[in-house]
Amino acid sequence: MLFTLSLVALALVGSDVEPVYVLEYPGVAFGWLPEEMLPVEEGNLTEEAGVVTSPPNAHGSDFRIYYWEEELEPNTRKDLWLSNRFRSTVSPDILPSLLISSPSWEEGSTLSPMWETSSVGLIPVIDFNMIAPDGDIIGRGRACAVFTDNHSILIYSMIPYESPTEAAEAMNMLVGNMYLLL
């Protein structure tokens, strides 16, 4: 209940609040980032592509934001785009240990004061577990995709099982406070 009230309070913050982080080229802003992502580590950010990652941290959490300039066909299955792009982006060493869910759809920007005018809209989401050879769950994560007029954005988190950070909760906050720059 307290968590729900804090989410509602965050959603009611006035629109004059400055974003915590802006990605100029895909045209998105973040009103909140997980503590483990601060300060963000920027790779080469160009109009064509870019990556932002979390710095090494005590919890072993890994948050990443990738974007690509691309125009998708109008009938592109964005849930399949997410599944395929996630599998092609994560390290080949990690991929065999992932147990990945079927995509679901969630509304983005719902915690942002910009929700009514600059929402990222419905986004495909996948959850996954990292499985050790003996079958133990050693980590968990969540990935989602956001699409702007000419960019595709992949956001994912991988978190060790014993970490105090909850992957789904952190991603929900991140995407809930994300909005389009107009």
Hey, what amino acid is at 20? Answer: V
Q: What is the pLDDT of residues 90-131, one digit of tens each?
A: 999 999 999 999 999 999 999 999 999 999 999 999 999 999
| Topology of the domain comprising 2-180 | Protein Transport Mog1p; Chain A (3.40.1000)
**Sequence spans of domains, the chain:** 2-180
- Compute how many other C-beta atoms are within 10 angstroms of the C-beta atom of residue 163: 18
pLDDT computed for residue 16 by the predictor? 64
| Cβ contact 72:79 at 8 Å | no
pLDDT computed for residue 4 by the predictor? 35
SS3 (DSSP) at 131: strand
Q: Which stretches of the chain drop beneath a pLDDT of 50?
A: 1-15
Alpha-carbon distance of 32 to 170, in angstroms, equals: 10
Residues 6+ apart with CB under 8 A from 161: 130, 137, 138, 139, 140
